[in-house]
């Protein structure tokens, strides 16, 4: 179905005239054609979300899982924007040991973690999902690193564009700055409206496209737009825990992702975008369940092996629990956090290294770093930096 989703307006920057796209408010007209296949895909995605929500209740310590899972999302979402840091790079950065990694890249990912946590905490406190909250999140996201000079926390007051070297040769030009407030005001209304009766997943899919089309900030729009999906689903209580992040799906299918966004703007083909989005929800939720189950199995297997280590097993079990939160660590850090002397920590590590659970990754005699290998392997799947 062909729809008009917005209009082009003539604008000018530095004496050059160009066409900028101003989206119409949501929901679209004519209304969405939610046929049987699309409805079936929506139900499949919702069932996968239900399984994901259910498995979160089985995790012995959901906070430990979220701690690392949010970091994985931060790495993936930042990679889509061009950073080259990996999951391990971020963990090394957080123990102040990231040799050879571009500092700005890892700083951006670290900022993203802080921004996500802030947004989720504010929602948990009852703060509304609003433009004000998005500005707060954006301010933290760009507080340090390459984006710190791109007006963190402020909607743009100048023209931006996507692709090309200037608006005149860009692949897409979002609304002129003087129309940002009206576009965002309409988007905020749609976030909170209840008249349409649209399912939460479908609303989240549409809000993501609209936010990316408005592109209200000078930098960080992609990362914030992807995070917005999770914030919406938590705000609507579709998920009790923030466990759904689509960046791996978007990264793996990035050509299709950008094509679908452009198709909505050019032809109003919301239905194709919804099919793409809902398939991503299904695949991502299913993958997250698999990862959670794999981690549960890993932790239990390793605990059983540690219990067989004799009198040192008590200290080793405490260290194993710490490793789930800090899978890369130093002996002094572990000693301080657990209240166990360094000699005992060293003795535990000898046992864990012999058992193949842990490895030392520096090769140094001093300032050594240890890694919980299989845990990092499971969480790192798909987080290799994009090349080419």
Same domain, 325 and 258: no
Give the C-alpha separation, 96 to 101, whole Å: 12
CATH number of 19's domain: 1.10.3290.10
Same domain, 140 and 234: yes
Taking only Cα atoms into account, the Rg of the chain, rounded to an integer number of angstroms, comes to: 23
Q: Of 260, 291, 322, which residue is a domain's last?
A: 291
Same domain, 258 and 328: no
Give the C-alpha separation, 142 to 108, whole Å: 7
- Judge whether 297 lies within some domain: no
- Judge whether 300 lies within some domain: no
Q: Of 240, 256, 291, which residue is a domain's last?
A: 291
Same domain, 272 and 345: no
Same domain, 261 and 323: no
Asked whether 84 and 385 are in contact (CB, 8 A), the reply is yes
* CA-closest candidate to residue 45, choices 341, 222, 358, 286: 286
Same domain, 368 and 238: no
- Judge whether 296 lies within some domain: no
Beta bridge partners of 12: 17
Contacts of 381 (CB under 8 A, 6+ apart): 291
Per-residue pLDDT tens listing for the chain (388 residues)? 689 999 999 999 888 999 999 999 999 999 999 899 999 999 999 999 999 888 877 776 777 677 777 777 777 777 777 666 777 777 777 776 545 555 566 677 778 888 988 998 999 999 999 999 999 999 999 987 666 778 999 999 999 999 899 999 999 999 999 999 999 999 999 999 999 889 999 999 999 999 999 999 999 999 899 999 999 999 998 888 888 888 889 988 989 999 999 999 999 999 999 999 999 999 999 988 898 889 889 999 999 999 999 899 999 999 999 998 888 899 999 999 999 999 999 999 999 999 999 999 888 888 888 999 998 888 877 666 655 4
Q: Structurally, how many domains does the chain consist of?
A: 2
Same domain, 125 and 260: yes
Same domain, 206 and 247: yes
Same domain, 91 and 165: yes
Domain of 115? 6-291
Give the C-alpha separation, 282 to 274, whole Å: 12
Half-sphere exposure of 28 (CA within 13 A, CB side): 26
287-311 in b/e burial notation, b at 16+ Cβ within 10 A? bbbebbebbeebbeebeebbeebee
CATH number of 371's domain: 1.10.10.10
- Judge whether 387 lies within some domain: no
Q: Of 231, 260, 291, which residue is a domain's last?
A: 291
- Judge whether 33 lies within some domain: yes
Same domain, 158 and 81: yes
Same domain, 191 and 325: no
Residue spans of beta strands (DSSP E) within the chain: 6-13, 16-23, 328-329, 358-360, 370-372
């Amino acid at each position: 179905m062909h729809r008009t989703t917005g209009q082009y307006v003539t604008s000018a920057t530095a004496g050059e005239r160009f066409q900028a796209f101003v989206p119409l408010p949501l929901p679209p007209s004519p209304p969405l054609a939610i046929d049987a296949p699309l409805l079936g895909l929506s139900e499949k995605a919702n069932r996968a979300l239900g399984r994901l929500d259910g498995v979160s209740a089985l995790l012995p310590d959901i906070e430990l899982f979220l701690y690392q899972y949010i970091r994985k999302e931060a790495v993936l979402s930042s990679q889509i924007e061009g950073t080259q840091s990996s999951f391990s790079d971020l963990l090394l950065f957080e123990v102040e040991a990231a040799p050879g990694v571009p500092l700005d890249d890892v700083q951006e990912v670290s900022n993203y973690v802080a921004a996500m946590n802030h947004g989720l905490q504010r929602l948990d406190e009852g703060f509304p999902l609003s433009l004000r909250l998005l500005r707060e999140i954006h301010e933290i996201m760009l507080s340090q690193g390459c984006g710190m000079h791109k007006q963190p926390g402020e909607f743009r007051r100048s023209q931006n564009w996507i692709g090309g070297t200037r608006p005149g040769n860009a692949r897409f030009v979002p609304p002129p700055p003087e129309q940002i407030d009206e576009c965002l005001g309409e988007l905020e209304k749609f976030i909170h409206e209840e008249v349409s009766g649209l399912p939460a997943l479908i609303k989240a899919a549409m809000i993501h496209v609209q936010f990316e089309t408005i592109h209200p900030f000078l930098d960080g729009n992609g990362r914030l737009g992807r995070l917005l999906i999770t914030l919406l689903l938590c705000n609507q209580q579709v998920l009790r825990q923030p466990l759904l992040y689509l960046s791996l799906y978007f990264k793996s299918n990035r050509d299709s992702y950008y094509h679908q966004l452009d198709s909505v703007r050019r032809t109003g083909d919301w239905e194709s975008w919804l099919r793409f989005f809902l398939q991503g929800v299904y695949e991502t939720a299913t993958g997250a369940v698999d990862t959670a189950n794999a981690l549960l199995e890993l932790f239990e297997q390793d605990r059983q092996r540690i219990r067989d280590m004799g009198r040192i097993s008590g200290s080793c079990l405490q260290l194993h629990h710490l490793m789930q939160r800090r899978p890369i660590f130093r002996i002094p850090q572990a000693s301080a956090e657990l209240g166990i002397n360094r000699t005992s920590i060293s003795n535990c590590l000898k046992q864990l290294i012999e058992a193949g659970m842990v490895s030392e990754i520096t090769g140094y005699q001093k300032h050594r770093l240890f890694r919980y290998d299989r845990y990092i392997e499971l969480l790192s799947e798909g987080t290799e930096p994009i090349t080419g």
